[in-house]
Amino acid sequence: MATRKVREMGDPVLNKQCKEVTEVTPRLQELIDDMFETLYEENGVGLAAPQVGILKRVVVIDTTGEDPLLLINPKILETSGEQDGYEGCLSVPGKSGKVTRPNYVKALAYDENMEPFEIEGTELLARAICHEVDHLNGCLYVEKVHGPLVNTEDLRDDEE
């Protein structure tokens, strides 16, 4: 396992449509392992393959640091409600912006054995699933921000 370099906004790879995964090859398994390692190293909540330069529909999420979630070919089936809150992204370091997202998301995805499963999430998990699926479609959260992009550091000061 190794960490991979996280691509930053302005890198064209972040604006491309990713391809469906058809098979978890050893090479893809290595990508998945590296994505988790990179996610934990960077203290992120989620990471999508294009953020490490790979145009495949692979997402890793962990909203608590203890709940690793792999989503291959995730597809949002259902959403409801609304939440408005600050969001950040490892590809936009140091910045946050307010994005409205559904408060509940149900998605279909595949695991490392390419077995389908459904995942339901509310609040942060719902937000993370939407954010990461957007990455797979070449969309960064900054396109959806209302209000200014702020320094995450200033935000923390405000909350204290």
Selecting among 66, 132, 159, 160, the annotated active-site residue is 132
Nearest to 71 by CA among 109, 119, 23: 109
Span 82-111, contacts to Ni ion by CB under 5 A: 89
Considering beta carbons, is residue 24 or 89 the nearer one to Ni ion? 89
Residue 3's Cβ-side half-sphere holds a number of Cα atoms within 13 Å equal to 11
Q: Considering the complex, what minimum distance in angstroms separates the CB of residue 135 from Ni ion?
A: 6
77: enclosing H helix or E strand: strand 69-80
Task: Please report the DSSP string for 106-119 in residue order.
Answer: EEEEE-TT--EEEE
Nearest to 35 by CA among 69, 81, 67: 69
152: enclosing H helix or E strand: helix 152-159
Q: Considering the complex, what minimum distance in angstroms separates the CB of residue 88 from Ni ion?
A: 8
Q: Is 23 a catalytic residue?
A: no
Considering beta carbons, is residue 89 or 105 the nearer one to Ni ion? 89
Considering beta carbons, is residue 108 or 140 the nearer one to Ni ion? 140
Binding of residue 35 to Ni ion (CB under 5 A): no
Residue ranges in contact with Ni ion by CB under 5 A:
89
